[in-house]
């Protein structure tokens, strides 16, 4: 059975499938590749989706709805005649149209898909996307970040070449940036960032407001006016001056030069620049170390986007081949990876956590308690799968219940972040008030690449453990899949000190340290401390680096002192 790759876009949506020749975008009988992400209602009260809805929007804008994708998961309502629809229902109608097109093109029933979402989508946005797919009769096998999808399609086409790439994806309603590395068939995502409310339509709005300034805009808020302004915006990508003539529609005729337009768009450009800078910081790479800057999405043709990219990376940005379909083709590649397609057996993909995950805590300063502070357990930019543990404590010796509120976000105050779950631990042992002793609880967050988040809270004195599992980015698991997921999480849900390889290295290093001369003991001890410190901080890359350094020191001492019969070096 075929798994679809779907690019559910703000302006247009596409579908693709993978075959032995690679990913290809499906078209309708007229050869059109995209389905406009527009829903409208006709004079008879029937809902229209796609091209027909977009055509209706030109002369009857009040009968059509578009640009609803950025509001997925938010309280946002629309009315079309007698129909009260939200972003989820509207997206479901678009997905149903895509599903029907695929079934007609392939001659088979389709009920599974990989759907792309902005990397900066948060928990409610992702859940809403899954719900829209369910309403459309599709089961989501994976939600794939859009720039990761673009990089995946690009990386598969590059073969085994090694390169660091920045992908800037500016669509109709959202902006994403991802920094990644390609090597040996691996697509290794280092960082993702973006803005879920920044896209090409916002740049159109800026020009529209400028053209209509000083006029009674209500009468000119039509699809026809917006279409003319959109055309002018695109012309400014390759012309220095354009004229927007709205005289036939009762509006003004206005000339706009590129310098003026860039000045008007400066706040949007600053937001875009900041997203790229944050992703670079998260990746640990510097702009000049990036080999290629890849532009994806219909709005990246604006010169300002390329100029920002060149200023930050020190090189001209490259417009992706067939830029409008790259994300859909990447989704098809991910679907083929899930299906274990033979042509992709050597390809692997990593991804990163796009928002920090943590708990609400009480901080104490100068004898005062401050509630509602956010403590990240898994930080944004962490490579998945990942597992990390923090130790918390009760506030009072007689406290018997601890309620862990789980949040997603970056703000130091939990009220500014998104609450995604609650875990309550009851029956904590009491301690005498005069002792001042409180109960410690180890809290571990473990997340796999599919978005499954497991939270374990273990009471230190009793070893009582309470668990919360959040299926954050995938469909609800069936019984057999749940068992597989438990095994996956069990493999990563351990402190690095508990890993057999790390324990073995510590034992070997300690044994060697005990027999070498004192001057060399100090050297080994420093590297052991560095390794232990890296494990305590639970940062995977730091652990790997410290492990390699300690291993090299131990091997050198074993070789120089002939200790091979004494220890087995890992």
Residue 67 and residue 122 share a domain: yes
pLDDT score for 367: 79
Task: Please report which confidence band the pLDDT of residue 216 belongs to, taking 50, 70 and 90 as the band edges.
Answer: low
Domain assignment present for 567: no
pLDDT for residue 220 is more than 90: no
Q: Work out how many domains the chain is built from and give that number.
A: 4
pLDDT for residue 93 is more than 80: yes
pLDDT score for 516: 80
Work out the average pLDDT over 91-108.
Answer: 94
pLDDT digits (tens, 9 = 90+) for 272-294: 999 999 888 888 888 888 998 98
Cα separations (Å) of 128 from 69, 153, 196, 354? 10, 25, 14, 17
pLDDT score for 218: 65
pLDDT for residue 74 is more than 70: yes
Q: For residue 354, give the DSSP letter.
A: S
Distance from C-alpha of 60 to C-alpha of 62, rounded to nearest angstrom = 6
The domain of 248 spans 200-267
Domain assignment present for 74: yes
pLDDT for residue 442 is more than 90: yes
Residue 87 and residue 10 share a domain: yes
Query: Lowest-confidence range among 83-92, 155-164, 373-382, 468-477?
Result: 468-477
pLDDT for residue 225 is more than 70: yes
pLDDT score for 350: 78
Residue 475: closest CA among 118, 16, 110, 132? 132
Query: Lowest-confidence range among 43-47, 79-83, 532-536, 537-541?
Result: 537-541
pLDDT score for 424: 92
Residue 488: closest CA among 384, 376, 379, 341? 384
Domain endpoint, select from 247, 267, 287: 267
Residue 234 and residue 147 share a domain: no
Give 289-307 as a DSSP string: G-SEEEEESGGGGSHHHHH
Domain assignment present for 568: no
Distance from C-alpha of 561 to C-alpha of 565, rounded to nearest angstrom = 11
pLDDT score for 486: 56
Residue 507 and residue 467 share a domain: no
Alpha helices (H) in 136-176, listed in sequence order: 146-158
pLDDT digits (tens, 9 = 90+) for 229-269: 899 999 998 899 999 888 887 788 889 999 999 999 999 99
Cα separations (Å) of 255 from 58, 232, 243? 23, 10, 4
Higher-confidence position of 167 and 119: 167
Residue 138 and residue 16 share a domain: yes
Work out the average pLDDT over 547-569.
Answer: 80
pLDDT score for 275: 92
Q: What is the CA radius of gyration of the chain?
A: 27
Distance from C-alpha of 455 to C-alpha of 420, rounded to nearest angstrom = 12
Distance from C-alpha of 387 to C-alpha of 447, rounded to nearest angstrom = 6
pLDDT score for 268: 96
Higher-confidence position of 570 and 194: 194
Portion of the chain with pLDDT greater than 90, in percent = 37
Query: Lowest-confidence range among 74-78, 349-353, 457-461?
Result: 349-353
pLDDT score for 373: 92
pLDDT for residue 452 is more than 70: yes
Domain endpoint, select from 352, 372, 387: 352
Distance from C-alpha of 327 to C-alpha of 149, rounded to nearest angstrom = 5
Domain endpoint, select from 219, 251, 267: 267
Portion of the chain with pLDDT greater than 70, in percent = 92
Domain assignment present for 47: yes
pLDDT score for 369: 83
Work out the average pLDDT over 59-76.
Answer: 87
Residue 167: closest CA among 186, 175, 473? 175
Residue 283 and residue 226 share a domain: no
User: Contact at 8 Å (CB) between 336 and 344?
Assistant: yes
Query: Lowest-confidence range among 197-201, 344-348, 374-378?
Result: 344-348
Residue 338 and residue 472 share a domain: no
Beta-bridged to residue 507, according to DSSP, are none
pLDDT score for 297: 83
pLDDT for residue 34 is more than 60: yes
**DSSP 3-state of 146:** helix
- Residue 43, judged by CB atoms within 10 A of its CB (0-12, 13-18, 19+), counts as exposed
List CB contacts of 269: < 8 A, sequence separation 6 or more.
Answer: 262, 304, 308
Work out the average pLDDT over 541-569.
Answer: 81
Domain assignment present for 566: no
Q: What is the CATH number of the domain that holds 248?
A: 3.90.640.10
pLDDT for residue 479 is more than 50: no
pLDDT score for 475: 42
Residue 371 and residue 453 share a domain: yes
pLDDT score for 483: 57
DSSP H or E run through 481? helix 479-492
Distance from C-alpha of 286 to C-alpha of 312, rounded to nearest angstrom = 9
Q: Give first-to-last CA distance, the chain, whole Å.
A: 45
Domain assignment present for 317: yes
pLDDT for residue 177 is more than 50: yes
pLDDT for residue 207 is more than 90: yes
pLDDT score for 248: 82
Q: For residue 434, give the DSSP letter.
A: G
Higher-confidence position of 311 and 541: 311
Residue 327 and residue 242 share a domain: no
pLDDT for residue 513 is more than 90: no
pLDDT score for 151: 82
Distance from C-alpha of 570 to C-alpha of 563, rounded to nearest angstrom = 14
Q: What is the CATH number of the domain that holds 342?
A: 3.30.420.40
Residue 548 and residue 433 share a domain: no
Distance from C-alpha of 249 to C-alpha of 220, rounded to nearest angstrom = 8
Residue 343 and residue 283 share a domain: yes
Higher-confidence position of 188 and 216: 188
Other CB atoms within 10 A of residue 80 CB: 20
Domain assignment present for 27: yes
pLDDT score for 536: 78
Buried-exposed string 365-403: b where 16+ CB fall within 10 A, e elsewhere: eeeeeeeeebbbbbbbbbbbbbbbbbebebeebeeeebe
Work out the average pLDDT over 476-485.
Answer: 50
Domain assignment present for 570: no
Distance from C-alpha of 478 to C-alpha of 371, rounded to nearest angstrom = 38
Residue 275 and residue 416 share a domain: no
Work out the average pLDDT over 414-419.
Answer: 91
pLDDT score for 474: 43
Q: How many CA atoms lie within 13 A of 346 on its CB side?
A: 9
Query: Lowest-confidence range among 49-53, 167-171, 539-543?
Result: 539-543
pLDDT score for 487: 57
């Amino acid at each position: 059975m075929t798994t679809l790759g779907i690019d559910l876009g703000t302006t247009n949506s596409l579908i693709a499938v993978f075959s032995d020749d690679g990913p290809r975008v499906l078209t309708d009988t007229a050869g059109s590749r995209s389905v406009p992400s527009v829903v409208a209602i006709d004079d008879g009260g029937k809902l229209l989706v796609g091209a027909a809805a977009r055509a209706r929007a030109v002369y009857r804008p009040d009968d059509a709805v578009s640009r609803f994708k950025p509001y997925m998961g938010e309280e946002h309502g629309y009315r079309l005649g007698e129909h009260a629809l939200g972003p989820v229902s509207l997206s479901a109608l678009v997905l149903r149209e895509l599903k029907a097109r695929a079934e007609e093109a392939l001659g088979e029933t389709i009920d599974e898909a990989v759907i792309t979402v902005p990397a900066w989508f948060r928990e409610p946005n992702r859940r809403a996307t899954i719900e829209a797919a369910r309403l459309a009769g599709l089961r989501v096998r994976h939600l794939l970040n859009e720039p990761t999808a673009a990089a995946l399609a690009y990386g598969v086409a590059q073969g085994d070449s090694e390169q660091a790439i920045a992908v800037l994806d500016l669509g109709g309603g959202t902006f994403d940036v991802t920094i990644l590395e390609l090597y040996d068939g691996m697509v290794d995502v280092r960082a993702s960032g973006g803005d879920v409310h920044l896209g090409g339509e916002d740049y159109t709005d800026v020009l529209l407001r400028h053209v209509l300034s000083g006029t009674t805009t209500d009468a000119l808020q039509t699809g026809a006016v917006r279409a003319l302004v959109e055309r002018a915006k695109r012309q400014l990508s390759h012309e220095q001056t354009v004229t927007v003539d709205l005289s036939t529609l009762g509006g003004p005729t206005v000339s706009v030069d590129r310098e003026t337009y860039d000045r008007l768009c400066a706040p949007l450009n600053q937001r875009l620049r900041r997203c790229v800078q944050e992703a670079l910081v998260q990746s640990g790479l510097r702009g000049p170390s990036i080999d290629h800057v890849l532009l994806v999405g219909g709005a990246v043709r604006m010169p300002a986007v390329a100029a920002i990219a060149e200023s930050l990376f020190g090189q001209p940005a490259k417009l992706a081949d067939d830029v409008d379909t790259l994300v859909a083709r990447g989704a098809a590649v991910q679907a083929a990876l899930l299906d274990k397609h033979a042509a992709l057996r050597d390809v692997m993909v990593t991804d990163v956590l796009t928002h920090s995950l943590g708990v609400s805590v009480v901080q104490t300063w100068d004898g005062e308690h401050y509630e509602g502070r956010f403590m990240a357990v898994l930080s944004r930019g962490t490579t998945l799968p990942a597992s990390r543990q923090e130790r918390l404590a009760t506030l009072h010796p007689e406290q018997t219940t601890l309620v862990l509120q789980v949040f997603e976000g970056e703000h130091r105050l939990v009220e500014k972040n998104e609450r995604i779950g609650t875990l309550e631990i009851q029956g904590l042992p009491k301690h005498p008030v005069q002792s001042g002793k409180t109960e410690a609880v180890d809290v571990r967050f473990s997340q796999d690449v599919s978005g499954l988040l497991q939270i374990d809270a273990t009471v230190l004195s009793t070893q009582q453990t309470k668990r919360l599992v959040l299926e954050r980015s995938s469909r609800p698991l069936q019984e057999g899949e749940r068992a597989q997921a438990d095994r996956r999480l069990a493999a990563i849900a351990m402190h690095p000190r508990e890993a057999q390889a790390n324990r073995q290295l510590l034992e070997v290093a300690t044994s060697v340290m005990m027999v070498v001369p004192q001057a060399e003991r100090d050297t080994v001890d420093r590297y052991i401390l560095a390794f232990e410190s890296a494990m305590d901080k639970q940062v995977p890359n730091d652990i790997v680096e410290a492990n390699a350094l300690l291993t090299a020191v131990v091997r050198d001492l074993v070789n120089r002192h002939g200790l091979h019969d004494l220890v087995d070096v890992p």
